[in-house]
Amino acid sequence: MPRNKSIILMSVGHACVDVYQGAVASLIPFFVAERAYTYAAASGIVLAASLLSSVAQPLFGALTDRWALLWLLPVSTILGGLGIALSGLSGSYALTLAFVAVSGIGVAAYHPESARVARLASQGSHSMMGWFSLGGNIGFAVAPLMVTAVIATGGLRLSPLLVVPALVGSALCLPVLRALDNPTHAGSSAAAPTETDDKLSFVKLSLAVVCRSIAFIGLSTFISFYAQQRTGGGTAAGTAALFVLYLGGAVGSVLGGSLADRWGRITVVRGSYLITVAAVAGVVFVPGPAIYLFVALTSVGLYVPFSLQVTLGQDYLPTRVGTASGITLGLTVSIGGLVSPLIGSVADATSLRTALTPLILMPALSWLLFRTLPEPTAPKPVAAAQQTGDNTDGEPSPAQRNHR
């Protein structure tokens, strides 16, 4: 299968999964309106989606380092959609948390293997990985529109309709999986591991990813409420802010890959985080419609590093690509959810502005960590026979073991 076609299908499939991560934050205002949840209770739903996911993604990554689990992509896509689809059916807070947690597990299972497959299909191109990440960003951006269109029409009882993207995404990934499962698949220019892990750099990278995650998830959880307060608008004003936050990520992902091909990943990420510090400050302190401009700048700034951090993690841990993907790609959308209840509690006790102000520090900390990181050596191409044949240590490759 041609590289461009594979990446397009993978990108659309990524959108169909990440729409459910965006759907969690998008459902919060409706849970508050219909069930009278407090800020802390509402942010607990985000926690439910994030807690299991943050733990499970590295575990799924470790499994994909040992075996090629291509079947995880369609199965996890369905699981992610099913949890969100069921979350609106029960008035029970415990059941709502459970269903959202199921969706989080599905998302966790998808990302490590999809990142590994996308890196193979992209043949190591930063730009192609940017397009793969774009799909996830589009899924985030579409989520508030999809949720509002469905739930605002008939309430939370219509949530089962939200399973449709999962059905589409699981079907679209099948042609790519069939091509990759073929032992004669031409992936001759995928990267070969250097067999040398830079664990210290990977730890620093992971800490930077955590800081980025706290900033993004914190904003995505509460930006709808905050935009309504700062603009004096209603639900539409909040939905628009969330849409801008997610849509800007689509621009940032593609821009990041293109800039990295010219300037290098580390340089681009450093500059992006530095700009984001000022952008988040604008979101928190600038009143009126100008908040939308700063939300857009924040989104672009936080997403320029998105795909670059994934490939950096894979290059820092070339012998554990699945684990690296599970941590860098997974933590960006999970760890931040663990902090959301704390932000919600502070907001309940003081104000949203007070609770969101510490988020300004997060991209600054990411920038400081990236100041200490080196640009890893680019992996060298290998022959197709090495990818579908034996590893350098004489053991069958994960793809072979799975095929057998």
Domain range for residue 352? 3-403
Q: Model pTM? A: 0.72
Indicate the Cα dihedral angle 76, 127, 373, 296, nearest 10°.
-80
Contact 60, 85 (CB under 8 A): no
Helix orientation angle between 126-154 and 93-122, rounded to the nearest 10 degrees: 150
Rg (C-alpha) for the chain, rounded Å, is 20
381 strand-pairing partners: 191
What pLDDT sits at residue 385?
35
pLDDT bucket at 305, cuts 50 / 70 / 90: very high
What one-character DSSP code corresponds to residue 183?
A: T
Query: How many separate domains does the chain show?
Result: 1
Q: pLDDT, tens digit, for every residue of 154-180?
A: 888 899 999 999 999 999 888 887 877
Residue 393's alpha-carbon distances to 195, 224, 388, in angstroms, are 11, 53, 14
Say how far apart CA 298 and CA 377 lie, in whole Å.
Answer: 30
For residue 357, the SS3 value is helix
| CATH number for the domain that contains residue 230 | 1.20.1250.20
Q: pLDDT, tens digit, for every residue of 270-291?
A: 999 999 999 999 999 998 899 9
pLDDT bucket at 334, cuts 50 / 70 / 90: low
**Vertex 314 angle, CA 119 and 175, to 5°:** 20
Polymer length in residues for the chain: 404
